[in-house]
Amino acid sequence: MENKPRMISGSQLVFLLLISRLFTLFTFVPRARTAASGSTALLCIPLAGIAVGILLLPSLLLFRRTQTGLLDCAFQVGSGYGLLVSLLFGAFCLYMAAFTVSHFSFFMTSVVYPNSTPWVFVILLTLAAGYAASLGLEAFSRMSVWVFSLLLLLLVLFLCALLPEANMVYLTSPLLDGTPAVGKGIFYTAVNHAEAVALLLLLPRARRAGGRTVAGWLVLTVLAYELLSFLTLTVLGDYAKTRIFPLHTLSSLTQLSGFGRLDLLHITLWIFAAFLRMTVYLYCAAVCLRRMLPNLRFGRACACCAAVSGVWALMTAQGMRFWNQAAEQIWTVAAPFLLLAVAAPLATLLFTSLGQSPTGKGNGK
């Protein structure tokens, strides 16, 4: 009874992806040349949300038609194609897991433990996330509800503490840098929604998931991003551009009467978010690996993925040169997103439509 895989709820999937997405806000580095900054970013965030929604339409259409996951559809098209899609998705998930743990260890060694080396954080976080991934999707998706509650608490405290400090003088016209800057900002912000790849893999495991789930995720992400970016901009102003982690600076400056500084809460939430994000990607990578090697047990698949991403992170976390270079080249971010979240579902949809009669199975809800 308890051994069969369970479905998670659509809201749990939304929380999971929202927290995972917010992790990138914590690691937001304003000096990256590709990132939109200031008031332009405030305009780009909602427009990028709409763009992602449009870009995900093929995936949603595919899911609506077949009611199965992208990997299932890919294997139905052909085993070679299925293996290729699994390999690409799995590799991307491992890349994102390594990215997460590297950025996290960079934050920890820069801000919280300046005298430590990154490998401690890489190893501990990889171990914990690998363990959580092996427990199954429902375990960490249920956990995301608690973390979401913590996130809401942090947002409320931030609002209470920082709204009086907000200075609207820092708000300028979002078109001040010109329309190309806005377009570039929208594109960059949209392709940074790497969670869309995880969404495609997890969507079939969510009950009654579909367009509403995706819309809910995008709306909540845009709201949280917009709010935190607005506070960072109006409270820190130009000072934010000089900081490596503006959000952490913001929380360090926050004083809330009896609560004191909020950076403890911020660091706690950061660790939770890193843990969940790492777990999501390790789980997705393990799912892809098992598609390629069906005889491999899930626990071992998680261990393999954790080991690979851990080694990758260990090799790249020191100095962060690899990740900084990757962040500065917009196509290294955009290409995987466009290939996996847009092109792969579109191709699969076409293949499926061509190989299926109009009265064939999977007419959707």
Partner 1 sequence: MKITEMFKRRPAAPESAYQPPQPDAGLDRKLAPTLQQRLSDLREMVGNTGDLIVNELAVCGIDCAVVMCEGMVATAVFAELFAEPLTALRLDQPTPEKLLGWVRHQSLLAPDQKEFHTYGDLTRFIMSGFVVLLAEGVEPGLAFGIQGYDGRSVSEPAGESNERGSREGFIEKLRPNLSLVRRRLKSADLTFEMVNFGVKSRTDGALVYLRGAVSPELLEEVRRRLSQVKIDVVLESGYLQPFLDSKPLSIFSGVGYTERPDTLCAKVSEGRIGLLVDGTPYALIVPYLFNEHFQSFDDYAHRPYFATFIRWLKYAAFLFSFLLPGLYVGLGSFHPELLPKNLLLKLAQSEAVTPLPLMFEALLIFFIYEIMREAGLRMPKSVGHAVSIVGALVIGDAAVTAGLIGAPMVLLVAMTAISSFVVPSLYEPVTLLRFGFILIGGIAGLFGIVLALCAVLANLCAINPLGVPATSPAAPFSLYAMRDVLFRVGWKTLSQEDLRIQGLTGSDLKGEDADGE
Q: Is 256 in the site for partner 1 (CB under 8 A)?
A: no
If residue 50 lies in a helix (H) or strand (E), which one and from where to where? helix 38-55
How do 260-261 and 255-256 pair as beta strands? antiparallel
Alpha helices in 67-163 (DSSP H): 70-77, 79-107, 118-134, 137-162
Query: In the set 45, 77, 132, 231, which binds partner 1 (CB under 8 A)?
Result: 132
- Closer by beta carbon to partner 1, 144 or else 192: 144
Q: Does position 304 bind partner 1 by CB under 8 A?
A: yes
Residue 9 interacts with partner 1 (CB under 8 A): yes or no: yes
Binding string, 145-184, against partner 1, x = CB under 8 A?
xx--------------------------------------
Candidates 192-200, 237-245, 255-263, 324-332; binding stretch for partner 1 (CB under 8 A) = 255-263
User: Per DSSP, what are the bridge partners of residue 354?
Assistant: none
Examine residue 113 and tell whether it contacts partner 1 (CB under 8 A): yes
Q: How far is the CB of 259 from partner 1 (least distance, A)?
A: 11
Which residue in 41, 45, 48, 143 binds partner 1 (CB under 8 A)? 143
Of residues 182 and 269, the one with the C-beta less far from partner 1: 269
- Cα 12 to Cα 142: distance, rounded to the nearest angstrom: 7
Q: Copy the structure tokens of residue 24.
A: 């990138």
Stretch that binds partner 1, among 86-94, 155-163, 231-239, 294-302 (CB under 8 A): 294-302
Q: Does residue number 281 form part of the binding site for partner 1 (CB under 8 A)? A: no
Q: Would you state the structure tokens that stand for residue 8, as one six-digit string? A: 């998670």
| One residue of 131, 298, 322, 351 binding partner 1 per CB under 8 A | 131
Q: Contact 139/132 with Cβ under 8 angstroms?
A: yes
Asked if 349 and 341 touch (Cβ cutoff 8 Å), the reply is no
Closest contact distance (angstroms) between CB of 269 and partner 1 is: 9
Amino acid at 274: A
Contacts of 320 (CB under 8 A, 6+ apart): 102, 103, 106
The Cα–Cα gap between 200 and 216 comes to 15
271 binds partner 1 (CB under 8 A): yes
Task: Identify the sign of the CA torsion 61, 194, 325, 322.
Answer: negative
Q: With CB under 8 A as the contact rule, which of the stretches 10-18, 37-45, 61-69, 342-350 interacts with partner 1?
A: 10-18
**In angstroms, what is the minimal distance from the CB of 248 to partner 1?**
13
Closest contact distance (angstroms) between CB of 223 and partner 1 is: 20
Closest contact distance (angstroms) between CB of 20 and partner 1 is 14
Residue 325, burial from CB neighbour count under 10 angstroms (0-12, 13-18, 19+): exposed
> Token pair of 321, please?
């040169």
CB distance 270 to 51 below 8 Å: no
Residue from 78, 80, 183, 260 binding partner 1 (CB under 8 A): 260
**Pair of tokens at residue 299:** 């626990």
DSSP letter, residue 7: P
Q: Is 300 helix (H, G, I), strand (E, B) or coil?
A: helix
Task: Kindly state the smallest distance separating residue 156's Cβ from partner 1, in Å.
Answer: 17
Residues that bind partner 1 (CB under 8 A): 1-2, 4, 6, 8-12, 108, 112-113, 120-121, 124-125, 128, 131-132, 135-136, 138-140, 142-143, 145-146, 207-208, 260-261, 263-264, 267-268, 271-272, 275-276, 279, 293, 295-297, 300, 304
